[in-house]
Amino acid sequence: MSKRALISVSDKRGVIELAVKLVELGYEIVSTGGTSKTIKESGVPVTYISEVTGFPEILEGRVKTLHPKVHGGILARRTPEHLAQLEENQITPIDLVVVNLYPFRETVAKAGVTLEEAIENIDIGGPAMVRASAKNYQDVAIIVNPDRYGEVVAQLTETGELSQTTRFQLALEAFQHTAEYDTAIAAYLQSIALATNDGADGLFPREFKLEGAKLQGLRYGENPHQQAAFYQLAGATGVNIAGARQLQGKELSFNNILDANAALELVKEYEGPAAVIIKHNNPCGASEGDSLATAYQNAFACDPVSAFGGIVALNREVTGPAAEELNKIFLEAVIAPAFSKEALVVLAEKQNLRLLAVGDFSGQNSASATGNAGNNGGKPSLEIKSVGGGFLVQETDRGMVTAAELQVVTQAKPEDKMIGDLLFAWKTVKHVKSNAIVVAKDGRTLGVGAGQMNRVGSAKIALEQAGDQAAGGVLASDAFLPFSDTVDQAHQAGIVAIIQPGGSLRDQESIDKANQYGMVMVFTGQRHFKH
């Protein structure tokens, strides 16, 4: 007795070759719509679905497989009772189902797609067949991924049957396929609700679902005894580390990816040619310069000891001169929009150095104190942090201030060059772990104090690192300064201006001390805690 395979696919990769092999193995092929036409035109015998159901496709193809002669054939267990019912109702068992779904994600990713077009690409019959087959996996094999065709055909050719292990794996993949599909639909409709103010739950829905495609397994996590993998979040937009192309070097580690992400997000802040160096998720150097080579030299000079083994991000295409500078010490990775041919030749001398090209991201971090959307189509982007037993979701911190938004609170007023340094320091301190202090001058960092339990400790680290160069420089604090101690430290080191959020009940103490020293102090009205 021949077996029956039902094939109905949106992704037609390899479907003709599969149909040929199945016919050779004694299967009768049943198919629908465009899939049936594709198989028939290839010369492979195929039975049209309406010949099985005795009912035409109706409602512009919305209904074609939702029929007892299809679902009865899929859901029947191979027990005497079920087989007798199939015979009584003239239903032929279906042994293999090959289905993948309408291209919903691809449709909604197109520019200008309408809600009506999106709705028409929501598959109904396909998920029903996939779920029915997966539920009955012990008797019916379900394939949703064309990459599985070769494996299935090989096993059928060798043994005539699929093992229960293979059937279970295919069923698991099938339920993952439909779950991802439904999640994509829900996410799209949620975005429509947000855009039209139609969503009852606003930015944060009652149920928050994450969907990601595995990019790679990792050797280990933060430490060798921890397993790990890297996933790309479905629907992610803009330039991000998950979308980077690795051009050379060793495989990225868990910590490399974290640091590369931190580097990329910081370097996006700057408009001129810029370089940042990240170590353990904190910047140990950042600079804007006339060229990438100069910017990197200045970033490196901030903390040469920490820069060794760091990760560098740049915001312009890397050319030969910059590559020559990068080659002078051991680095784990370099991230940039692109690399010139000359730069690739130079950097190829260090075969293990990871090179990541992410594409142009100019203007991608443009936001202000009054908005947090950045370059995300006017919609806030979200970030997720895990905690024991759950996770936190918040808007990504895209906030930034302009010169016009600064509030000068001291008698001394900043000149244009000082404002430039203050804004540079403010962009940088935003990406330093709290408590955070950054000392800067001439568009480059001189000292960074990160992650201390009190702000005095962070200021001490940053000012000691800056040393004599701090004289004439500026200091940025990620949170307000309720006491004058940090102002005292800054003055003793020669700092001439401070930028901070303001907003403490004791702001006046710091303002008075700054006035006593003749220092400039500006408020941003916005803080940048980073835990």
> Hey, which of 84-93, 383-392, 423-432 has the most confident mean pLDDT?
423-432
Q: Cis before residue 435, ω within 30 degrees of 0? A: yes
User: What per-residue confidence (pLDDT) applies to 370?
Assistant: 38
Q: What topology does CATH give the domain 403-523? A: Cytidine Deaminase; domain 2 (3.40.140)
Lowest mean pLDDT among 40-54, 180-194, 346-360, 517-531: 180-194
Q: By percentage, how much of the chain surpasses pLDDT 90?
A: 60
What is the pTM (predicted TM-score) of this model? 0.78
Q: Could you tell me the CATH superfamily of domain 243-357?
A: AICAR transformylase, duplication domain (3.40.140.20)
Above 80 in pLDDT, residue 206?
Answer: no
Is the pLDDT at 447 greater than 80, yes or no? yes
- 40 has catalytic annotation: no
Nearest C-alpha neighbor of 450 from the set 268, 274, 303: 303
How would you classify the pairing of strands 382-387 and 354-357?
unpaired
How sure is the predictor about 375, in pLDDT bands with cuts at 50, 70 and 90?
very low
What tens digit of pLDDT does each residue of 464-498 get?
A: 999 999 999 999 999 999 999 999 999 999 999 99
Mean pLDDT of the chain: 89
pLDDT at 69 over 50: yes
Q: What is the pLDDT of residues 268-287, one digit of tens each?
A: 999 999 999 999 999 999 99
pLDDT one-digit tens code per residue, 317-357: 999 999 999 999 999 999 999 999 999 999 999 999 999 99
pLDDT confidence of residue 198? 54
At 133, is the secondary structure helix, strand, or coil?
helix
- Residue 364: the pLDDT is 67
Measured CA to CA in angstroms, residue 501 lies from 155, 329, 355, 400, 489 at distances of 65, 37, 37, 11, 18
Burial of 518 (0-12, 13-18, 19+ CB in 10 A): exposed
pLDDT at res. 372: 44
Domains 243-357 and 403-523 belong to one CATH topology? yes
* CA torsion angle 467 471 473 476 (round to 10): 60
pLDDT tens string 167-189: 999 999 999 889 888 888 887 77
Please pick, among 82, 135, 209, 250, the residue that the annotation labels catalytic: 135
Given the residues 12, 40, 280, 350, the one annotated as active site: 280
Task: Find the mean pLDDT for residues 238-262.
Answer: 94
Whether 280 is catalytic is yes
pLDDT value of residue 201: 62
Binned at pLDDT 50, 70 and 90, residue 235 comes out as: low
Is a pLDDT exceeding 70 seen at residue 102?
Answer: yes
Q: Which sign, positive or negative, has the C-alpha torsion 450, 454, 458, 459?
A: positive
Return the DSSP state at 87: H
Residue 54's pLDDT band, with cuts at 50, 70 and 90, is confident
Q: What is the mean pLDDT of residues 72-82?
A: 88
- Of 140-144, 353-357, 362-366, where does mean pLDDT reach its minimum? 362-366
User: Tell me, what's the pLDDT at 45?
Assistant: 87
| Confidence band, pLDDT 50/70/90 cuts, at residue 441 | very high
**What's the CA gap between 176 and 142, in Å, rounded?**
12
Residue 60, pLDDT score: 74
> What kind of architecture, by CATH, is found in domain 3-191?
3-Layer(aba) Sandwich (3.40)
Could you read off the pLDDT of 8-38 as tens digits, one per residue?
888 888 889 998 989 989 899 988 888 888 8
pLDDT at 474: 98
pLDDT band at 1 (very low <50, low <70, confident <90, very high): low
Given pLDDT bands bounded at 50, 70 and 90, which one contains residue 50?
confident
- Does residue 378 surpass a pLDDT of 60? no
Q: Which residue has the higher pLDDT, 488 or 379?
A: 488
Torsion sign over Cα 514, 465, 311, 281: negative
Helices (H) and strands (E) in the chain, counts: 19, 21
Half-sphere exposure of 149 (CA within 13 A, CB side): 19
Q: What phi, psi does 312 have (nearest 5°)? A: -110, 135
- Ranking 62-66, 167-171, 248-252 by mean pLDDT, the lowest is 62-66
CA within 13 Å, CB half, 333: 31
| CA 405 to chain CA mean position, Å | 31
Residue 11: HSE in the Cβ half-sphere, 13 Å Cα cutoff: 17
Flag whether pLDDT at 433 surpasses 80: yes
Beta bridge partners of 99: 8
* Domain parsing of the chain, residue ranges: 3-191, 243-357, 371-398, 403-523
